[in-house]
A and B are shown apart, each in its own frame.
Chain A
Amino acid sequence: MIVSQAAVSESVAPVAMGWGDVLSQQLITGVSNGMIIAMIAIGYTMVYGIIELINFAHGDLCTLGSFLALTLVGALGMEAWAGMGGTAAVVTLLISSAVFCGALNWTIDRVAYRPLRGKPKLALLVSAIGCSFILVNIALFWGGLPMEVFGGGNQAAAPKDFPSLISNENLLGAKSAITVTWRDLFVVIVTVPLMIGLTWLVKSTRLGKAMRAVAQNPTAAALMGIDVNRVIGSTFLIGGALGGFASVIYALYNNTISFQMGYRTGMDAFTAAVLGGIGSLPGAVVGGIVIGLVRALSDGYIEARWTNSVVFGILILTLVFRPSGILGAKLREKV
Chain B
Amino acid sequence: MLKNIAAVCLLAFAITPALAQGEKPEKVLKIISSLPRTGSANAQTTTMVNGIQLAIDEVNGKVGDYTIVYEDMDDASPQRGNWDPAVEAQNANKAARDESVIAYIGTFNSGASKISMPVLNKAGLLMISPAATYPGLTKPGKGEANEPKIYRPTGKINFFRVVPADDLQGFVAAEWAKDMGVKKVYILDDRELYGKGIANVFENHAKELGIEVLGREGIDPKASNFKSLATKIKAAAPDMVYFGGTTQNSAGQIAKDLHTANATPKFMVPDGCFEKAFIEAAGAENVNGSAYITFGGLPADKLTGRGAEFRANYKKKYNLKENEEPEGYAVYGYEACKVLLDAIPKAKTKDRAGILQAVSETKNYNGALGIWSFDENGDTTNTTMSGNTVENGEFKFVKALGK
Contact = CB atoms under 8 A, between A and B. Distances in A.
Asked whether the complex places CB atoms of A and B closer than 8 A, the reply is: yes
A101 B222 CA distance: 23
Interface in B253-282: 253, 256, 259-265, 275-277, 280-282
Contact of B222 (A3, A136, A250, A264): A264
Given A299-B229, A305-B220, A256 B256 contact: yes
B217 interface: yes
A interface residue count range (under 10 / 10 to 19 / 20 to 34 / 35 or more): 35 or more
Interface in B189-241: 191, 217-220, 222-229, 231-232, 234-235, 237
A29 interface: yes
Contacts, number: 147
Contacts of B231: 17, 22, 25-26, 29, 300
Contacts of B392: 1
Contacts of A21: 235
Nearest to A255: B256
Of A1, A11, A21, A297, which is in contact with the most chain B CB atoms at under 10 Å from its CB?
Answer: A11
B308 interface: no
Interface stretch (A42-50, A158-166, A237-245, A319-327): A158-166
Of B224, B226, B232, which is in contact with the most chain A CB atoms at under 10 Å from its CB?
Answer: B224
A86 interface: no
Contacts of B220: 264, 304-305, 307-308
Contacts of A17: 231, 234-235
Interface stretch (A115-123, A149-157, A209-217): A149-157
- Secondary structure of the A contact surface, majority rule: helix
Contacts of B225: 33, 253-254
Contact of B218 (A159, A254, A295, A304): A304
Given A157-B248, A161-B252, A264-B222, A11 B228 contact: no
A42 B335 CA distance: 51
A300 B220 CA distance: 14
Contacts of B253: 159, 254, 256
B228 A157 contact: no
B111 interface: no
Given A17-B234, A151-B277, 7 more contacts: A11-B265, A22-B231, A159-B253, A161-B282, A253-B225, A264-B223, A304-B226
Interface of A: 1, 3-5, 7-8, 10-12, 14, 16-17, 21-22, 25-26, 29-30, 32-33, 36, 133, 136, 151, 155-161, 163-164, 168, 179, 250, 253-256, 258-261, 263-265, 268, 295-297, 299-300, 303-305, 307-308
Interface of B: 39-43, 46, 78, 81, 191, 217-220, 222-229, 231-232, 234-235, 237, 247-248, 250, 252-253, 256, 259-265, 275-277, 280-283, 285-286, 288-290, 392
